[in-house]
Amino acid sequence: LSGLDIEKMEGDILNIDAVRKALKGVDTLFHLAAVYSIWMKDWSRIYEVNLQGSRNILWSALKADINRVVYTSSIAAIGIKPGMEASTEETVFNQYTLGNHYVLTKYLSQQEALGFAGNGLDLVVVNPCFPFGTNDRVPTPTGQMIVDILSGLNRSSLNGGINIVDVRDVARGHILAAKKGRKGELYILGNKNVTMDEMMSLVRNVSGIKRVLLPKAPRAVLKAFTAGLTWWSDHISHKPPMSTPAEVKYVSQYLFFDSAKARNELGLVFTPIEESLHNSINWFIEKGYVKV
């Protein structure tokens, strides 16, 4: 946010008084705050923030008579169709047994948001897919995947696929949803469905960096390895592991999505994926995330 012509206000979404104060005089609210983690020592925090925090925001928005709320959900809150068939906004959630607390809290909080929409709040939901782009400091899971591929790690050990999208397109989708979205509707913000093999080829071809890849690990080995990492985090390090069995199980599916609704109703136009990858890769190289 550095350099933008904005007014900053610090607050805690778990503090309803602070939320109410922040919403005074607000016309349009974008609710993006959430906890994302593949591992936590105490999972109650993710439920507290993603559920109670959202309730505080939405209840305060309803009381403040906000004109429009754009609620940032996730494709994690949408069901996955069998095989490589793309899910839509109508696909019923079916990921209850994953043991993935982030996925479950995003679905539950989305249901809360839709409940508020049914009770008078002018709210629209956006469901971003796997975003990436420049200024990805953490980096995000998709950004880390790009860094891993550039570094020679073999991400094709996972047989699934994902839908990737430029983070700038996701931002434009939020703005268009505020202007054109229909109350109580979901809009998937995703560009290109790619298998893990296709993702690796795209990154390697766009970057021109084609290091020798580490051997591909069988899924059973990955499951056992990540179980060991999780045990170590739980009992020894108390720090997040590289991955967990729940994460492997989720991303081993074909997380393919159809964004026709956002294209047709919102008029969202997506950046060519090769252009987006080129910008992202150059940023990671310039900032030292990848040694060329």
Of residues 276 and 138, the one with the higher pLDDT is 276
β-strands 130-132, 28-31 pairing: unpaired
The pLDDT confidence band at residue 156, using thresholds 50, 70 and 90, is: low
Distance separating alpha carbons of residues 104 and 100, to the nearest angstrom: 6
The CA-CA-CA angle for residues 166, 282, 199, to 5°, reads 55
DSSP state of 257: B
Q: Quick check: is 5 in a domain?
A: no
Distance separating alpha carbons of residues 115 and 183, to the nearest angstrom: 12
The pLDDT confidence band at residue 261, using thresholds 50, 70 and 90, is: very high
Q: What is the CATH number of the domain that holds 273?
A: 3.40.50.720
Instruction: Name which of 155-159, 219-223, 268-272 the model is least confident about.
Output: 155-159
Q: Quick check: is 6 in a domain?
A: no
Length of the chain: 292
Q: Quick check: is 259 in a domain?
A: yes
Distance separating alpha carbons of residues 143 and 146, to the nearest angstrom: 5
Compute φ and ψ for 7, nearest 5 degrees. -105, 125
CB contact set of 234 (below 8 Å; sequence gap of 6+): 41
Distance separating alpha carbons of residues 125 and 98, to the nearest angstrom: 23
Of residues 270 and 3, the one with the higher pLDDT is 270
Distance separating alpha carbons of residues 152 and 20, to the nearest angstrom: 48
Total domains, the chain: 1
Angle between helices 141-150 and 196-207 (to 10 degrees): 60
Over 80: is that where the pLDDT of 217 sits? Answer: no
Distance separating alpha carbons of residues 193 and 162, to the nearest angstrom: 6
CB contact set of 201 (below 8 Å; sequence gap of 6+): none
SS3 category, 99: coil
The pLDDT confidence band at residue 4, using thresholds 50, 70 and 90, is: confident
What range does the domain containing 114 cover? 16-286
Beta bridge partners of 161: 195, 254
Compute φ and ψ for 224, nearest 5 degrees. -65, -40
CB 198 within 8 A of CB 231: no
Please report the pLDDT score of residue 74 as a whole number.
98
**Stretch 250-266: mean pLDDT:** 97
Q: Quick check: is 2 in a domain?
A: no
Distance separating alpha carbons of residues 147 and 180, to the nearest angstrom: 36
Q: Quick check: is 7 in a domain?
A: no
Q: Quick check: is 3 in a domain?
A: no
Q: Mean of the per-residue pLDDT values for the chain?
A: 94
Q: Quick check: is 155 in a domain?
A: yes
Over 80: is that where the pLDDT of 211 sits? Answer: no
Q: Give pLDDT tens digits for 58-101.
A: 999 999 999 999 999 999 999 999 999 999 999 999 999 888 99
Distance separating alpha carbons of residues 86 and 91, to the nearest angstrom: 9
Over 90: is that where the pLDDT of 242 sits? Answer: no
**Would you say the pTM of this structure is higher than 0.85?**
yes
| Enclosing H/E stretch for 131 | strand 130-132
Q: Quick check: is 154 in a domain?
A: yes
| Peptide linkage before 139 cis (omega within 30 of 0) | yes
Distance separating alpha carbons of residues 289 and 269, to the nearest angstrom: 30
CB 93 within 8 A of CB 104: no
Beta bridge partners of 124: 70
Dihedral Cα 243, 164, 192, 94, nearest 10 deg: 50
Distance separating alpha carbons of residues 143 and 201, to the nearest angstrom: 15
